[in-house]
A and B are shown apart, each in its own frame.
Chain A
Amino acid sequence: MAESLKRTPPRVAAHRWLEPLPAATRFSLRGGPAARAAASRAFGVELPEQACRAATAGGRAALWLGPDEQLLIAPEVDAAAASGALGAALADIPHALVDISHRQVALGLEGPHAVWLLAHGCPLDLDLAQFPVGMCTRTVYLKAEVLLWRTAEDRVRIEVWRSFADYVVAQLEETALELPA
């Protein structure tokens, strides 16, 4: 894929409540407890063992996606360092580590209506009691598969496959027509 295409952010009009987030380094890590322990040390974030929870440390994040699946997110400049450290630490442990940095893009949804906008197309219970700060999960938003991560009470990070990003943005913008001006 052309470098320019990989780095094209999704088209988002100027909103106060939705913004494309900076490009990031992402790894999909599959592996058992030994791989997770080694990855925690190499990546600098304690990989969460609790279902649907995210952990952050030093600008990096680890998100629980499944019992043996974690999404690791780091700033884009850390790509080579993180990849090298993880590769070295996991060399002798059965695992799968895949660089998916450019597979998906991140959107920042924020404001008092953030959850209301998502609820339009997401069947999950997004109430703070059921979906607390720090919870992350794969789910569906209308016809797109998305990853939601609540980073604050009124802020949600949406990770979506690149080719679905424009669809998700368009649907959020259409829903936002209902908002008071």
Chain B
Amino acid sequence: MLIIDCPYCGPRPELEFAHGGQAHVVRPADPSKSSDDEWTEYLYLRLNTRGVYAERWRHARGCGRFFNALRDTTTDHFLATYRAGERPPTVAAPRSAP
């Protein structure tokens, strides 16, 4: 089982967490002024990166808090976790997937 490091509670088993999609998606400040393309991009389009990906996670069966994580989507390795509102930390490049 994966061990995920909750920024509030510490290392906890994967079962307690829920995935929340791509992190750092910024809502347009004034949606009524954004074009259809901009709004579509905000609502639906995600990076789906192969490699290091910034994601939102929620410690749903623990403290209940959302936080962000950097995860390598090819190895499922969590490189870092950090609180919502913080900038992603710089991490060493992971080993490439086999």
Contacts and interface: CB of A to CB of B under 8 A. Distances in A.
Contacts of A139: 12, 16, 61-62
B16 A65 contact: no
Contacts of A140: 15-16, 61
A67 B83 CA distance: 12
Contact of B9 (A123, A137, A145): A137
B62 A69 contact: no
Contacts of B15: 123, 140
Interface residue tally on B, bucketed by range: 10 to 19
Interface residues of A, number: 13
Main secondary structure of the interface of A (DSSP, over half): strand
A124 B13 contact: yes
A69 B13 contact: no
Interface in B44-73: 61-65
A140 B1 CA distance: 14
A138 B61 CA distance: 6
A70 to B, nearest CB: 11
Interface in B1-48: 1, 8-10, 12-13, 15-16
Interface of B: 1, 8-10, 12-13, 15-16, 61-65
Task: List the 6 shortest-distance A-B pairs measured between CB atoms, nearest first.
Answer: A123-B13, A66-B63, A66-B64, A140-B61, A145-B61, A140-B15
Interface of A: 51-52, 65-67, 69, 123-124, 137-140, 145
Given A65-B63, A66-B65, 9 more contacts: A51-B9, A66-B63, A67-B63, A69-B63, A123-B1, A138-B64, A139-B61, A140-B16, A145-B61
